[in-house]
Amino acid sequence: MLVEVRVQSLGLDRSSNTPVVILEEVGGERVLPIWIGPGEASAIAMQLADMEFSRPLTHDLLVAVLNGLGGNLRKVIITRVEKNTYYAELIIHRNGEVISVDARPSDSIAVALRTEARIFAQDDLLEQATIEITEEEQSGQTPSKSKGGTPSETMDPEQLKEYLRRLNPEDFGRFTL
């Protein structure tokens, strides 16, 4: 089942010095953190800040090409995670045809923000954290962290929110070109 999400925030994980985009369930409380590259974080941050440039940036160029070819990005779907790598699909409509394009979530989010397309995630990606943390709590373990020092999928939304609250806003950094 697909769950609509929106970009809640964009920050910098101090422990790994890696940008993270936080997707929040629309009408709910669950969150999905996705660690991303600095270039994509910059593209997302610039769009969230409504910054405009005299020349198109990469994601702007993709939108222009898509529109020029008669396509319309209808939605982005964060489909799965494998070995700590998230996957997404761009769902494009063109001349009555539906085209699915494999893409990184970070690029997909940057393009969706530019086209005002809706963003969805598979429910199990949002649900997985709650299930895994419950099992660990029952065994007396504490939530684990991945190799990069970032919270793994085993944190429930409240624990993740608390972890993110402890991040210093100054540590989020300014994503600039």
Please check whether residue 75 lies inside any domain of the structure: yes
What is the count of structural domains for the chain? 1
pLDDT of residue 14: 81
Please check whether residue 177 lies inside any domain of the structure: no
pLDDT of residue 50: 87
pLDDT of residue 158: 57
Buried b (16+ CB within 10 A) or exposed e, 89-99: bbbbeeeeeee
d(CA 97, CA 70): 11
Residue 152 confidence (pLDDT) above 70: no
pLDDT above 90 coverage of the chain, percent:
54
Q: Which residue has the tokens 């991040």?
A: 167
Residue 23 confidence (pLDDT) above 70: yes
Residue 154 confidence (pLDDT) above 80: no
Contact 69, 50 (CB under 8 A): no
- Beta 2-13 vs 18-25: how paired, if at all? antiparallel
CATH code of the domain in which 115 resides = 3.10.690.10
Please check whether residue 162 lies inside any domain of the structure: yes
How many other β-carbons are positioned within 10 Å of the β-carbon of residue 86? 19
Residue 165 confidence (pLDDT) above 70: no
Structural domain of 95: 2-172
Please check whether residue 160 lies inside any domain of the structure: yes
Which tens digit of pLDDT belongs to each residue from 112-138? 999 999 999 999 999 874 443 334 434
Worst-scoring range by mean pLDDT, 19-33, 39-53, 82-96, 158-172?
158-172
d(CA 33, CA 139): 25
Q: What is the dihedral of CA 170, 6, 159, 131, to 10 degrees?
A: -150
pTM value? 0.73
